[in-house]
Amino acid sequence: MQLTDEQSQIRDVARAFAQREIAPHAADWDRAGGAPRELYRQMADVGLMGVMIDPCWGGSGADFVSYALAMEEISAADGGISNMMAANNSPVAMAIQNSGSEQHKREYLTKLTSGEWLGCFHLTEPHTGSNAAAIRTRAVRDGDEYVLNGHKAFITGGSTADVAMIVAVTDPDAGKRGITTFITPTDNPGYRVIGTESKLGHRTNDTCQVVFEDMRVPASDVLGETGRGLGIALANLSLGRIGVAAQATGGARAAMAAAHSYAREREAFGKPIFEHQAISFTLAEMATQIEAARQLYLHAAQMRDQGLECAREASMAKLFASEMAERVASKAIQIHGGYGFLNDYPVEKIYRDVRVYQIYEGTSEVQKMLISRMLDGMDL
């Protein structure tokens, strides 16, 4: 698709920032287990922490295509940092903009878009992954407050974020209509991080297990309407899946760039290995797959901007891009030979980072299940 001038500008701003402020430090932050908090303020300064948020709340007011393009650029520099950006932008900031009260927007949204605060999203629990309706965290009304008890897992930014968007059951007998979403600061006395995970990749952000122990949240901090929380959470799933496709595309692009550069420099049998057909053809296939993934996610993002149903296209983009990224990163390691297996070269880290894209926001198996259910609506 052809980009508008605004979309190209946002992409270019994100690319310049990523290559200047993130890429040179990503390997060191990966080894250290985190990126500096100031980085997110700097990202906010160039409009990356509230890309789709109305400027009156400190956002950039851009469309979803622009957000996805920016996500690809940040991910090309570091997957973990792009994931913190994703959580802050959508679902947290977007959910507050779309479903929050004026008080929520004043108290939370402007701080999220400025980088003063970071947001995290609490949906997944230890016993449930893609089945969001099976959550067990309970919220019981007590006067003007709700009392929350439960256990959340795989929470991006769980220990470093300042505000949490929490999905909990308020009426166990009402099924999907008994689920409510809350917003609360993470310094709430009942919010407790019980573990920070040691991960294969995305080591530049924290992924945590969090428990709520008689955590009191004012009824005024219900996001949207009571009993409508699952809808708020699921409304962002298609957006999240398109975002993951963009992340995967960025990671794959970085892996290919490293492989292409190495192939130009490394010599074997008297010439650069790029001049051997086995390598040049492999790179050609990698480039083609990356571009196909990009067009899939851009198509889905454009449909969303046009107000069209894009669940099928989002799942297709996520499925293809996430699996493509692992293949491309693996090929990049192969082109590097033994050096690709070393931590000294970027493709080792990229391979670790891209693997998770087949898992979160719905596994590849879940995407296939969803796509298969929607085949009847396709022109086959």
Query: 87 near 156, Cβ under 8 Å?
Result: yes
Q: Say how far apart CA 213 and CA 192 lie, in whole Å.
A: 8
Dihedral of CA atoms 342, 345, 349, 354 in degrees, nearest 10, equals -110
Per-residue confidence at 131, pLDDT binned at 50, 70, 90? confident
Which runs of E-coded beta strand occur in 105-185? 119-122, 138-142, 145-156, 163-169, 179-185
Q: Say how far apart CA 154 and CA 129 lie, in whole Å.
A: 10
Dihedral of CA atoms 175, 176, 178, 181 in degrees, nearest 10, equals 150
Report pLDDT for 303: 97
**pLDDT at residue 253 above 70?**
yes
Query: pLDDT digit string (tens) for 60-91?
Result: 999 999 999 999 999 999 999 999 999 999 99
Average pLDDT of every residue of the chain: 96
**pLDDT at residue 152 above 90?**
yes
Amino acid at 364: S
| 361 tagged catalytic | yes
Q: Which two three-digit tokens encode residue 52?
A: 């789709």
**pLDDT at residue 379 above 90?**
no
Query: pLDDT digit string (tens) for 283-334?
Result: 999 999 999 999 999 999 999 999 999 999 999 999 999 999 999 999 999 9
pTM: 0.96
Report pLDDT for 339: 98
Report pLDDT for 376: 86
Q: Say how far apart CA 167 and CA 99 lie, in whole Å.
A: 14
Cα–Cα distance list, 189 to 147, 163, 185, 186 (Å): 12, 13, 10, 8
Query: pLDDT digit string (tens) for 193-251?
Result: 999 999 999 999 999 999 999 999 999 999 999 999 999 988 877 789 999 999 999 99
Beta pairing partners, 120: 164
Cα–Cα distance list, 353 to 140, 152, 250, 271, 350 (Å): 39, 22, 11, 32, 5
Beta pairing partners, 150: 212
Task: Report the 10 Å Cβ neighbour count for 52.
Answer: 20
Q: Say how far apart CA 296 and CA 315 lie, in whole Å.
A: 10
Beta pairing partners, 140: 147
Task: Report the 10 Å Cβ neighbour count for 33.
Answer: 14
Alpha carbon of residue 172 to chain centroid: 30
Helices (H), the chain: 5-17, 26-32, 38-45, 64-77, 79-87, 94-99, 102-104, 110-114, 229-235, 237-265, 277-305, 311-336, 346-354, 364-373
Query: 109 near 100, Cβ under 8 Å?
Result: yes
Dihedral of CA atoms 283, 288, 291, 297 in degrees, nearest 10, equals -120
Query: What φ, ψ does residue 205 adopt, rounded to 5°?
Result: -125, 165
Q: Which two three-digit tokens encode residue 83?
A: 């994931």
Q: Tell me which of 72, 145, 361, 365 is the catalytic residue.
A: 361
Single out the residue of 72, 60, 76 nearest to residue 20, CA to CA: 76
Query: pLDDT digit string (tens) for 40-62?
Result: 999 999 999 999 999 999 999 99
Query: 144 near 218, Cβ under 8 Å?
Result: yes
Task: Report the 10 Å Cβ neighbour count for 90.
Answer: 27
Q: For 276, which DSSP code?
A: S
